[in-house]
Structure 1
Amino acid sequence: MRVLVGPDTDDLAELYAPLRSPWLRVNMVSTVDGAATGASGTSGSINNAVDKQVFDHLRATCDVIVVGAATARAEGYGPADRPIVVVSRQEEVPDGLRDAPDGSVVVRPLGDPVAFRAWLHDQGWATVLCEGGPTLLGHLVAAGVVDELCTTFVPRVVGGDHGRISTGAPVDAPLTLHTLLEQDGTLLARWLL
């Protein structure tokens, strides 16, 4: 385990390097009291500058972004510099992604998570970044296809009835702490599954 204070942008490449290829990581943010969203109902209302710094780095270094349709709608997803796979039961493209360039957004159901992961790698996407949401994270962890869970704990308590970073059927997946960073009270961790 590595514990560092105040990651420098130049350090992020080393700190967040995948341990092998292929690699599927999930990136989630929550408050200290476990809320995955804030007052607006989005994670954007609880994240902060250091979380955004790591979020941007993970996006810039992945081959593809995977996101659940409900999260893409709630968070107002738009086109990105990487292809986006939207996991949707109805196979419907969220509004913000409808005008994306051809081929930059793929919509498909999750189905069997093991087959889904194999399909991602068959497309040539070795480094996969999943940005949630909680239901998708629950399915992927339960199926044992996640290599790494990146978490940010922002130093806030919001109370209320906010969801957690993982929902769905009960699962008990042990984690191993790989890296722990702290900046201004924000804790950023890499957990291996």
Structure 2
Amino acid sequence: MLFHRRAFRSGRRGRAPGGGPSSHTRTRASSSPQAGNAARGPSGVLPGGGAPAPPRMSAVSDAPDPPPGSSPEARWAHGRVQSALAAGPPERVVGVMVASVDFRAAVAGRSGGLSSEADRELLRAWRAASDLLLVGARTLEQERYGALVTPAQSASRVAAGRPPVPPIVTLSRGFDLDLDQVLGYDEQLDVTVYTEADVTAPAGRPSVGVVRLARLTAAAAIAHARREAGATRILCEGGPTLLARVAQSGLLTDLSLTVSPLLVGHGPVVLADFEAGEPRRLALHDVHRDGDFVFLHHRVSG
């Protein structure tokens, strides 16, 4: 593996976890408070990755409590995340997706058309409890990533010794990512791009890091992020192809799926092109209904 990088930075809004020696360079970790998503369903990742050396590991109790006066959805989402995290091992890779009844992952290219306030609160709660967000390159371009957690969640993370928002990791084999589009809603979005291309971190983009791998796979990126950033709990937000690759690698530990009451009829399906070889058994940890939406949380048991 060859690493060229300005990634997992420490900076003015918080400190990203440090790692061992390798041939990559560091820059500051930028971040942005968001009023994200998530309220009635399961899904799981924990906050962490704030200390330099050694990396500070996440603990269930590190998940920020909802501030006083939070909505019932926010309180429910927090409890759901805590329950899911308490039920499993410290190291987690949690897939979080929303899908129509016919398992389409987007409407007009974006997942927002499938979501609900409860679903958005749940996603926010998982982000607030995450060490790292793993997001596909096309998803990162299309979904208009900006504020990732609420200001209150950001403050809670900082108080716990973590960066105010979890950094984002994405995979782009040829480094064909449209950074203008990715950073269009937040120039300080903390993004590390894993690639096979012989490139360095782009000039004028201090919040963007680059890690070059000889062979780019989801498993290799996750292993590097765990080693270098101390990322104990990783939240995979898709898209469908990336989530399938993570599942195929055997690293997926949890799947939080919100089923939206729509028939879409076209577009990519959740876990697109997933090839398991042998069927994998899932264990249902929790199910919740909010109106016509259903929230499922499964543990991957084999």
**Shared fold (TM-score, shorter chain, > 0.5):** yes
Q: Quick one: which amino acid aligns to residue 68 of structure 1?
A: G
Higher mean displacement: 83-92 or 147-156: 83-92
In 2, Cα distance between the equivalents of 1:43 and 1:173?
26
Q: Give the secondary structure class of the aligned counterpart of 1:16.
A: helix
Q: Quote the residue 2:188 is aligned against.
A: 101
8 Å Cα contact 1:178-1:192 kept in structure 2: yes
Normalising by structure 1, we get a TM-score of 0.85
Q: Quote the residue 1:85 is aligned against.
A: 169
Larger Rg: 2
Aligned ranges 1:114-133 → 2 under 5 Å:
114-122=219-227, 123-133=229-239
Higher mean displacement: 117-126 or 54-63: 117-126
Describe the superposition over 1:77-112 as per-residue Cα deviations: whole angstroms up to 9, x where unpaired: 23642101111112335322376438x210003823
8 Å Cα contact 1:77-1:96 kept in structure 2: yes
Alignment pair present for 1:34 and 2:118: no
Question: Normalized per residue, which structure has more strand?
Answer: 1
8 Å Cα contact 2:141-2:178 kept in structure 1: no
In 2, Cα distance between the equivalents of 1:169 and 1:11?
31
In 1, Cα distance between the equivalents of 2:92 and 2:178?
26
Residue 14 of structure 1 and its aligned partner are, at CA, apart by: 2.5
CA RMSD of aligned residues (A): 2.5
8 Å Cα contact 2:78-2:125 kept in structure 1: no
Query: Closer, same or farther in 2 for the Cα pair 1:140/1:179, shift >3 Å?
Result: same
Higher mean displacement: 114-123 or 45-54: 114-123
8 Å Cα contact 1:93-1:107 kept in structure 2: no
Residue 116 of structure 1 and its aligned partner are, at CA, apart by: 2.4
Q: Give the secondary structure class of the aligned counterpart of 2:138.
A: helix
8 Å Cα contact 1:141-1:173 kept in structure 2: no
The higher relative CO (CA closer than 8 Å, separation ≥ 6) is in 1
Aligned ranges 1:1-193 → 2 under 5 Å:
8-17=76-85, 19-38=88-107, 40-78=108-146, 80=148, 81-91=165-175, 92=177, 94=179, 95-97=181-183, 100-101=187-188, 104-109=190-195, 111-122=216-227, 123-159=229-265, 161-171=266-276, 172-193=279-300
Q: Quote the residue 2:207 is aligned against.
A: none
5+ residue gaps, structure 2, are 1-40, 43-72, 149-164, 196-214
In 2, Cα distance between the equivalents of 1:9 and 1:169?
28
Higher mean displacement: 61-70 or 78-87: 78-87
5+ residue gaps, structure 1, are none
Residue 42 of structure 1 and its aligned partner are, at CA, apart by: 0.7
Residue 169 of structure 1 and its aligned partner are, at CA, apart by: 4.9
Q: Give the secondary structure class of the aligned counterpart of 1:29.
A: strand
Describe the superposition over 1:2-44 as per-residue Cα deviations: whole angstroms up to 9, x where unpaired: x99x872452343332522211101000011211111x22111
Higher mean displacement: 181-190 or 111-120: 111-120
Q: Percent of aligned positions with the same letter in both sequences? A: 26
8 Å Cα contact 2:94-2:254 kept in structure 1: yes
In 2, Cα distance between the equivalents of 1:11 and 1:59?
14
Aligned length: 187
Query: Closer, same or farther in 2 for the Cα pair 1:10/1:112, shift >3 Å?
Result: closer
Query: Closer, same or farther in 2 for the Cα pair 1:74/1:185, shift >3 Å?
Result: same
Residue 148 of structure 1 and its aligned partner are, at CA, apart by: 0.7
Q: Quick one: which amino acid aligns to residue 79 of structure 2?
A: D
Q: Quick one: which amino acid aligns to residue 182 of structure 1?
A: R
8 Å Cα contact 1:134-1:166 kept in structure 2: yes
